[in-house]
Amino acid sequence: MRKGVMRPGHVQLRVLNIQDALAHYRDLLGLIEVETDALGRVYLKGWTEVDKFSVVLRESDTPGMDFMAFKVLNEATLDRLHQDLLGYGVAVEDIPAGELNGCGRRLRFVAPTGHQFELFAEKEQPGRYGVGNHNPEAWPRDLTGMKAQRFDHCLLYGDDLDGTFALFKDVLGFDLCEQVLTPDGERVAQFLTVSMKSHDVAFIKHAEKNKFHHASFFLETWEDVLRAGDLISMTDTAIDIGPTRHGITHGQTIYFFDPSGNRNEVFCGGDSFYPDHAPITWDADKLGKAIFYHDRQLNERFLTALT
């Protein structure tokens, strides 16, 4: 949090059918449905998240990610980052408060990999779902499905990894937690963090700009990952891979697809990071092990199924 950026605040995903998507994200992942806005977008959140929402589903003809947003400390920080972005030569679009229900003004910009990102400082903060801030119980009894705790990060595919890294590092205060390097030193994967988490956003090198690999949600335990896999099977949901462990971050994970073909991850664990940590480097010829620690080889889908 070198520059006042705190955490991933929300992601807006395009889905082909809003009811199917809601069944997936609410009933299977167990996200809390918050409300539907005037544009028909549905808002959800993980039960441990204090802000009003973290996932926005928008019906569209094509799946994928509209944008991912980061919450910053306060309005003063937002103003400063606005200037810093402009000073860095990045065009910034002002989105007025209320364009997303309950969310303050947002600054939107396009990163060199072609993805749209936003910054914001204010969002209604009803507190953790079902437990609140006063003598809170350990967890609410009415959770369903995978009981996803929070929207955690996105993995995005794009071309200009160096450009996006420089922007996130120099302007937004992110650190490089882990990377994959080719023998000639090209960084083909970068896991960036602005917190103790091993990634708040990650990028993999890809010929096209602005591709979406997955949105990831945090579970509490490896047993929750098992039960997530069980639920994927019980609901005939398309699985990608898992349960398994990542080499990068060492988190424990399972990948699957929403009804529109957007990939999701639910995971637990993961190494801790502090800003004085040297980045962890994986050799590109160890990419299989870096991604899927047990199988030690990528499945084809990991590199090609994008939205």
Active site residue 134: no
Active site residue 24: no
Interaction of residue 166 with its own copies, rule CB under 8 A = no
**Whole-Å CA distances, 195 to 160, 183, 279:** 23, 29, 14
Interaction of residue 162 with its own copies, rule CB under 8 A = no
Q: And the tokens for 205?
A: 């090198």
Residue 15 or 192: the one with the smaller Cβ distance to its own copies is: 192
Contacts of 52 (CB under 8 A, 6+ apart): 34, 43, 45, 101, 102, 103, 123, 124, 125, 126
Residue 247 or 259: the one with the smaller Cβ distance to its own copies is: 247
- State how far the Cα of 166 lies from the Cα of 162, in Å rounded to an integer: 6
Instruction: Pick out residues in 234-253 that bind its own copies (CB under 8 A).
Output: 234, 239, 242-245, 247, 250, 252
- State how far the Cα of 131 lies from the Cα of 279, in Å rounded to an integer: 37
DSSP state, residue 172: T
- State how far the Cα of 95 lies from the Cα of 93, in Å rounded to an integer: 6
- State how far the Cα of 33 lies from the Cα of 46, in Å rounded to an integer: 9
**Whole-Å CA distances, 178 to 56, 125, 192, 271, 299:** 28, 32, 7, 11, 21
Interaction of residue 182 with its own copies, rule CB under 8 A = no
Quick one: which of 172, 231, 266, 306 contacts its own copies (CB under 8 A)? 231
Quick one: which of 17, 62, 125, 182 contacts its own copies (CB under 8 A)? 125
Query: What character string, x for contact with its own copies (CB under 8 A) and - otherwise, covers 74-103?
Result: x-----------------------------
Helix, strand or coil, per DSSP, at residue 170: helix
The residue range among 2-10, 53-61, 79-87, 95-103 that interacts with its own copies, by the rule CB under 8 A, is: 2-10
C-alpha closest to that of 204 among 173, 184, 181, 171: 181
Interaction of residue 114 with its own copies, rule CB under 8 A = no
Interaction of residue 183 with its own copies, rule CB under 8 A = no
C-alpha closest to that of 179 among 256, 99, 247: 247
Active site residue 214: yes
Which one from 199, 206, 213, 293 is the annotated catalytic residue?
Answer: 199
Element (H, E) at 240: strand 239-245
Interaction of residue 197 with its own copies, rule CB under 8 A = yes
The residue range among 58-66, 99-107, 163-171, 226-234 that interacts with its own copies, by the rule CB under 8 A, is: 226-234
Which one from 10, 24, 115, 153 is the annotated catalytic residue?
Answer: 153
Cβ pair 63, 15 in contact under 8 A:
yes
Which are the catalytic amino acids? 153, 199, 214, 246, 255, 265
Query: Which residues contribute to the site for its own copies (CB under 8 A)?
Result: 1-2, 6-7, 48, 50, 71, 73-74, 125, 127, 133-139, 141, 150, 195-197, 220-223, 226, 229-234, 239, 242-245, 247, 250, 252, 254, 269, 271-272, 274-283, 286, 289-290, 293-296
